[in-house]
Amino acid sequence: SDAPQRTLPLHCLQISSFTNRSWSRTDGSTWLGDVQIHTWSHDSDIIRYLKPWAGGTFTDQQWEQLQHLFRVYRSSFSRDMQEFARIVQADYPFELQLFAGCEVHPGSIPESFIHVAFQGSSIVHFQGTSWVAVPDAPQWVGKILQVLNHDLGTRATVQWLLNDTCPQFARGVFEAGKSELEKQVKPEAWLTGARTPGSDHLLLVCHVSGFYPKPAWAMWMWGGQEHPDTQQGDTVPNTDGTWYLRVTLDVAAEQAAGLACRVNHSSLGDQDIILHWGEKDLV
Ligand code: ELM
């Protein structure tokens, strides 16, 4: 059909730890939106699928070619970064993080990137056809850029990975995993509350768990109104790929009666979950 192709961003994370001149390790992972699809351990020669559809629409041969490219890349990377560390006299231990990926927007050109961080701070990224320093990068980054940009073969390969391979792979893997990525899983919700020691206050907690996708809404309600003292928690992952959210409210014990927690999520449509606070919820 001509319907706009919806996709999700494809992200690759690499963490390389350099302990001394002769020892380092590199680990990686690939994510489609908030779902991890590959893992690449330092101890393994192969990039492992975490989902049956993690090969997307690539043929076995295309995938084998990529695996080979990344095996060569990983050993070259360790060697080259040790050499750079020597050139700029970096202190050990140090950590390099690479964040790369692409996002395919319906009806416009894909956006791709590689960002490199040293000791947690961004230093270099790939732009157009070459490596460039971030605006506030330390001086010594210039020396590294000269060497990096001298390697025309790698620059060409990086452009091919960013402009062709990544968007093609992202489309294919989204297509292959569509039913799982677009699944809707309803949350469960429950209330707990505890007396705040040394006061006549209660800390009420509304727990919302097991939902997918990530966006969810929860509020403490009083007399049909959103309670302004509601404290939003972060939405954090469960171990099974679903999400967990809690909202809390600190109230005087005598004001707890009549409070309710209201929960909404895309899986619920307009059928919000409403839970009324009761003494039985005290723990
Ligand atoms: C091509 O990561 O230099 C494939 C590259 O040896 C794929 C990249 C995908 C990434 C360092 C230490 C301390 C403080 C700061 C630093 C600076 C950190 C700067 C990091 C710059 C690289 N650069 C990031 C590239 C590393 C490997 C390359 C290179 C390697 C092998 O290249 C040789 C030839 O030189 C080349 O012309 C070509 O013939 C090639 C054919 O195999 O062989 N290049 C590649 O492997 C995305 C990662 C996802 C998270």
pLDDT tens sequence across 233-253? 999 999 999 999 999 999 999
**Of all atoms in ligand 1, which is nearest to the CA of residue 14?**
50
pLDDT tens sequence across 18-31? 999 999 999 999 99
CA gyration radius, the chain? 25
pLDDT of residue 1: 47
pLDDT of residue 4: 54
Q: Is the pLDDT of residue 50 over 70?
A: yes
Q: Quick one: DSSP state of residue 158? A: H
pLDDT category of residue 3 using cuts at 50, 70 and 90: low
**5: CB partners within 8 A, 6+ apart:** 104, 106, 171
Q: Is the pLDDT of residue 2 over 60?
A: no
CB of 236 closer than 8 Å to CB of 216? no
Q: Quick one: DSSP state of residue 257? A: T
Residue with tokens 């966006």: 215
pLDDT of residue 6: 72
C-alpha 76 – ligand 1 centre gap (Å): 6
C-alpha 271 – ligand 1 centre gap (Å): 52
Q: Which of 16, 79, 151, 160 to mutate to test the pocket of ligand 1 (most atoms within 8 A of CB)?
A: 151
C-alpha 75 – ligand 1 centre gap (Å): 9
C-alpha 32 – ligand 1 centre gap (Å): 24
pLDDT of residue 5: 62
Distance (Å, rounded) from C-alpha 78 to C-alpha 199? 58
Which residue, judged by its Cα, is nearest atom 31 of ligand 1? Answer: 76
**Of all atoms in ligand 1, which is nearest to the CA of residue 114?**
47
Which residue, judged by its Cα, is nearest atom 8 of ligand 1? Answer: 158
C-alpha 204 – ligand 1 centre gap (Å): 53
Distance (Å, rounded) from C-alpha 242 to C-alpha 237? 6
pLDDT tens sequence across 84-142? 999 999 999 999 999 999 999 888 899 999 999 999 999 999 999 999 999 999 999 99
Distance (Å, rounded) from C-alpha 124 to C-alpha 115? 6
pLDDT tens sequence across 182-200? 999 999 999 999 999 899 9
Distance (Å, rounded) from C-alpha 283 to C-alpha 201? 14
Q: Which protein residues are within 6 Å of ligand 1, measured from CB?
A: 12, 14, 28, 72-73, 76-77, 80-81, 84-85, 90, 94, 96, 98, 100, 114, 116, 118, 124, 144, 148, 151, 153-154, 157-158, 161
pLDDT of residue 107: 85
User: What is the dihedral angle through the alpha carbons of 89, 87, 152, 10, rounded to the nearest 10 degrees?
Assistant: -10
Q: Which of 47, 73, 89, 169 to mutate to test the pocket of ligand 1 (most atoms within 8 A of CB)?
A: 73
Q: Which residues of 156-193 are buried (b: 16+ CB within 10 A; e: fewer)?
A: eebeebbeebbbbbbbbbbebbeeebeeeeebebebeb
Q: What mean pLDDT comes out for the span 166-177?
A: 95
Distance (Å, rounded) from C-alpha 232 to C-alpha 241? 21
